[in-house]
Amino acid sequence: MKAPSPSTLLAAAVLFVTSSAGASPETQPATASVTEVVTSTTKQDVEIGLMYNGDYIYFFGSVPEPGADVIVKLTSTDDTPITVNRKGKVGLFWMNVKQFSVTGLPLVYKLHSTRPIAQIVDPALAAELGIGYDVLKQRMQLKLERGSAESDDRDMVFDGVLRLKKEANLYNVDEKRIEVTGGKIFKHYFRFPPAAKEGTYTAESYIIKDGKLIARGIDMIKIQKSGVEAAFTNLAQKHSVLYGIFCVVIALGMGLLVGVIFKKGGGH
């Protein structure tokens, strides 16, 4: 489940061929018993440094049975409620006419698969595994904070938020991303956009054959700030008075410094 972190593609490939061979005498399920699939990643810890601009992480895994399909779901454990405004026309003007509190939507949601998801799983299994935007929409909880309810609220809010998420590359579904090499190993990468904040992310791999889940695996990715970024954040959150004074002093100092430099350089 958790392979040691930085492993090369080759090493990973070798590992998975052997491990999948070792894991093979299981399935042929009368009762669809689900086994654990061996997966790994190129890294498990992402550090947000000064130059952080998102990251690419490769994921590998074994496919226990030839011909099986793979779906990998990347989500964040961060599902903080968000406040959403809906605009409407009042007279001539566009203004916020209602406000919702939305829960149940993760910060990040990405799906990769070997072929169109609708061909791999039926809606019941998709709902069980949390696969697809439809399932997310069902899980979304909407609370009207202001304004009056309308029948299309749910659709409007979900579609609007989905669009914003897609624009920030926080949500996406790519149904051709995963390739299975030699029927045994799958590999692909997830792009973690710059908007992917600190926190824990899980990549769940589902191996599905004939509409049944035959194996699954989980990888955890941790994103955290390091160095200057961590220091700033820590100071801003935990010692906010000190941080505020620091910000003001630096700004005053820089302003006056530039003033003095220009005075010397410029004459009168």
Partner 1 sequence: MDVYLPVAGMSMNIFLLVGLGAMVGFMSGLFGVGGGFIMTPLMMMAGIPPAVAAASDSNQIVAGAASGAYAHWRLRNVDIKMGLVLLIGGLVGGTIGVQLVKLLRELGNIEFVMKALYVLMLSTIGGAMFWESLQTLRRSRRQAATPPRETKHRVSIWSRLPLQMTFAQSNLRTSAIFPFIIAMFVGLLAAILGVGGGFIMVPAMIYVIGMPTIVAVGTDLFQIVITTANVTLQQAVANHTVDLLLAMLLLIGSTVGAQFGARVGRRLRGEQIRILLAIIVLVFAVKFVFDLLLQPDNLIAVAGGHGGGH
Minimum CB separation from partner 1 for residue 150, in Å? 12
Q: Identify the residue among 5, 94, 149, 211 touching partner 1 (CB under 8 A).
A: 94
Question: Near partner 1 by CB under 8 A, which window of 11-19, 42-50, 58-66, 116-124?
Answer: 42-50
Question: Near partner 1 by CB under 8 A, which window of 13-21, 66-74, 108-116, 236-244?
Answer: 236-244
User: Buried (b) or exposed (e) across 80-117, using 16+ Cβ within 10 A?
Assistant: eeeebbbeeeeeeeeeeebebebeebbbbbbbbbbeeb
d(Cα 186, Cα 218) in Å, to the nearest integer?
Answer: 14
Q: Is 25 in the site for partner 1 (CB under 8 A)?
A: no
Query: What is the enclosing helix (H) or strand (E) of 152?
Result: none
Q: Is 243 strand, coil or helix?
A: helix
Question: Near partner 1 by CB under 8 A, which window of 18-26, 62-70, 119-127, 251-259?
Answer: 251-259
Q: Identify the residue among 2, 87, 143, 176 touching partner 1 (CB under 8 A).
A: 87
Exposed/middle/buried for residue 179 (C-beta within 10 Å: 0-12, 13-18, 19+): exposed
Q: Which is nearer to partner 1, 9 or 257 (CB)?
A: 257
Q: Is 119 in the site for partner 1 (CB under 8 A)?
A: no
Q: Is 133 in the site for partner 1 (CB under 8 A)?
A: no
d(Cα 72, Cα 173) in Å, to the nearest integer?
Answer: 10
Exposed/middle/buried for residue 163 (C-beta within 10 Å: 0-12, 13-18, 19+): exposed
Contacting residues toward partner 1, per CB under 8 A: 48-54, 82-89, 92-96, 99, 146, 156-157, 159-161, 163-164, 194-195, 197, 225, 228-230, 232-233, 236-237, 240-241, 243-248, 250-252, 254-260, 262-263, 266
